[in-house]
Amino acid sequence: MLKNFSNVTQRLRRLSSQELDVSGTFQSFLLDLLDEGKQTLKVTRVSVWLFDDLDKPSELINVANTDWSGKTLPEQLPTLQYEDFAAYFTAINSGRSIDANDATTDPRTCEFHDIYLVPHNIKTMLDTVIFKNGIPHGVVCCEGDKIRTWHKDEIAFAEMIADCCSRRLLVKALWQLQSQLTELAFKDPLTGLSNRRFLMDSAKREMSRHARFEHPFSLMMLDIDHFKKINDNYGHETGDLVLKHFAEICVNTLRLEDCMCRLGGEEFVVLLPNTSINSAMIIAERLRNEIEQARIATPAGEISVTSSFGVAQVNTSLPFSHALKAADHAVYQAKAEGRNCVVPV
């Protein structure tokens, strides 16, 4: 029986209301709840196990464990196979808590006797179900080294921990969904580069930063020469393959701090932070040469391409569109001068 049950639940409520960074491992944002359960219930360990699939679960995966506190997480997370522990899985899928006072004899947990309970000196278990959309999603497992009778207050507290874990898992799922939507909104699906929307947002931030510190800021625009002929001669699938490999060549040649975006079609823009126009010309020429020397393997055979460049230094006191338009004009000039060259503004 828990003493001062109201105080215990208030402490758990405060813990569960905390804002956490859910971008890391399950362990990182579930551990404080598990530690609270371990201390309050006075058990050996508390762990969280999640089903691999909600519709057709075949195994439980151990994603967080008080034994791992302050340690490097296992490279291979422990698992329990449905076919090996049918009684335990059936009990969990019922949605009811497993209050195994003597885990070695309880029909719901005795399957673990030889492979887990005896080797780890586990005598009692209190496992409460984590729900997702009303369906069992996993379990919070509390284990002790002495046979005990689980009081209704302790069971209720363990169920509260499971509910708190459920809410945190929901927050993580929402964060993952938001990350995916953000990637869809700001990424070009073909090349994996950032898209025009990201370019305009990033340019605005960079202009503000460079204006504040009075650092030079440049950009280059590049256009693949005669790209329409590739599509016409080899088909759009080959054209897409060329675009993807072209993007890889550029990213591998540019600096880590440079930001390359696809405007659309065969047009690209690269933001060059802390870079003067002279330095930008050197970077552009190096990239032009790498593109010219590259051979792109396709089902139609090796294809080589060239690109025309326009380079401009960004005036941070004017809208970014001014620098973008100037670089675009420089690209047209590069094409008029025979293509495969770099023209500064």
Strand order in the sheet with 135-144: 79-81, 59-65, 45-51, 135-144, 124-132, 98-100
Instruction: Find how far residue 76's CA is from the centre of its chain.
Output: 19
Residue 266 annotated as catalytic: yes
Smallest Cα–Cα separation from 53: which of 27, 89, 29, 88?
89
Alpha helices in 187-276 (DSSP H): 196-213, 227-234, 236-253
| Measured distance CA(216)–CA(298) in Å, rounded | 40
Catalytic residue among 143, 154, 206, 266: 266
Residue 228, C-beta contacts closer than 8 angstroms, at least 6 positions apart: none
Q: What is the distance between the alpha carbons of residues 192 and 222, in angstroms, rounded to a whole number? A: 17
* CB-based contacts of 328-334 (< 8 A; 24+ apart in sequence): 328/221, 330/221, 331/221, 331/222, 331/223, 334/308, 334/309, 334/310
Question: Which helix (H) or strand (E) is 287 found in, with range?
Answer: helix 277-293
Which residues does residue 259 pair with via DSSP β-bridges, in sequence order? 271
Q: Which residues pair with 309 in a beta bridge?
A: 222, 342
Structure tokens at 206: 């960079």
List the beta bridge partners of residue 297: 302
Residue type, 342: V
β partners of residue 342 = 309
Positions marked active-site: 266
